[in-house]
């Protein structure tokens, strides 16, 4: 069945932001973009959680979004993170992304200030009504401190520009409630739950592990879409240890940047307060990559 954000079904990759000497390293960024396009990735998501958006200034975010849109040049979709815990700032960033030529906007739930459900509704409503971009509600209470309840998302689904949900609550009950009551395109926000979420009607994933194995994630998504459950299970079990380590060894994006570096794909530096993976965790990550066949 067609869903509201159908154009964004499949694999979206939550891109890392490469830094060098404290600045964004655009040559490395270009290499990442070309790698993803060559792999067939459906959508790129810069300046999200994986892109260390909390440590980017708003001016840097705008420059990165403009750079990604310009480099992609229409060859795939671009859905940057433009959310904020300030509605006015989220609106300004979203309008800037719209002007730059982005295809949609990834809107994290307002964090730290913990709005009421009505506050969430009014926040996303304003973004949907004052910009023309399709909006993807990014619900990740583990980071933001508060859940956007399914009843609130169901209300928001009635608005024309609310098209997608990046579902990172870990609750299949919540996802089921949203999928059964709306025609929103629901994407997994947790790599290890891509298959379970798609099995109940999700349409893909905004992936961290897609930074290193996008073709494999695409194979999993394609198997589910074709109804080949055995093939989908095979890919799920192959990918699972890697997905677990990318989010389990340390806070994202520390492990994915370490993995890229071990594989010889320079991800650039982390920006404080993020610090590099070290010690026993590097050893565990290396073993995971070896087991997968990436080293």
**Catalytic residue list:** 138, 166
DSSP run (H or E) holding 238: helix 229-248
Distance from C-alpha of 93 to C-alpha of 37, rounded to nearest angstrom: 25
Distance from C-alpha of 280 to C-alpha of 188, rounded to nearest angstrom: 29
Using an 8 Å Cβ cutoff, are 160 and 188 in contact? no
Over its C-alpha atoms, the chain yields an Rg (Å, rounded) of 18
Distance from C-alpha of 231 to C-alpha of 224, rounded to nearest angstrom: 8
Using an 8 Å Cβ cutoff, are 91 and 126 in contact? yes
Name which of 103, 108, 121 is nearest 81 in CA terms: 108
**Pairing status of strand 10-14 against strand 43-45:** parallel
> How many CA atoms does the CB half-sphere of 42 hold within 13 Å?
20
Q: Peptide bond before 253: cis, by omega within 30 degrees of 0? A: yes
Written as six digits, the tokens of 271 are: 């920006």
């Amino acid at each position: 069945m067609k869903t509201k954000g159908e154009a964004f079904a499949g694999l979206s990759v939550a891109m890392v932001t490469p830094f060098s000497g404290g600045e964004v390293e655009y040559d490395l960024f270009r290499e990442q973009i070309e790698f993803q396009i060559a792999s067939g990735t459906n959508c790129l998501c810069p300046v999200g959680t994986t892109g260390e958006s909390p440590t980017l200034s708003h001016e840097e975010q705008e420059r990165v979004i403009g750079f990604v849109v310009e480099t992609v040049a229409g060859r795939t979709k671009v859905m940057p993170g433009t959310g904020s815990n300030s509605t006015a700032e989220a609106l300004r960033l979203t309008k800037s992304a719209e002007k730059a030529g982005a295809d949609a906007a990834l809107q994290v739930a307002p964090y730290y200030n913990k709005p009421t459900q009505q506050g969430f509704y009014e926040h996303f409503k304003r973004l949907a009504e004052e910009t023309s971009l399709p909006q993807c509600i990014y619900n990740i209470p583990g980071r933001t401190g508060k859940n956007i309840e399914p009843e609130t998302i169901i209300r928001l689904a009635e608005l024309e520009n609310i098209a997608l949900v990046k579902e990172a609550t870990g609750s299949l009950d919540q996802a089921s409630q949203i999928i059964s009551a709306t025609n929103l395109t629901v994407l997994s926000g947790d790599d290890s739950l891509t298959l379970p979420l798609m099995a109940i009607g999700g349409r893909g994933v905004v992936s961290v592990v897609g930074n290193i194995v996008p073709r494999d994630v695409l194979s999993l998504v394609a198997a589910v879409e074709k109804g080949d459950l055995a093939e989908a299970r095979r890919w799920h079990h192959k990918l699972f240890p890697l997905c677990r380590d990318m989010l389990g060894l340390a806070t994202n994006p520390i492990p994915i940047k370490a993995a890229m570096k071990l594989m010889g794909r320079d991800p650039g530096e982390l920006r404080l307060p993020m610090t590099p993976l070290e010690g026993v965790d590097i050893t565990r990550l290396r073993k995971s990559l070896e087991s997968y066949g990436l080293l």
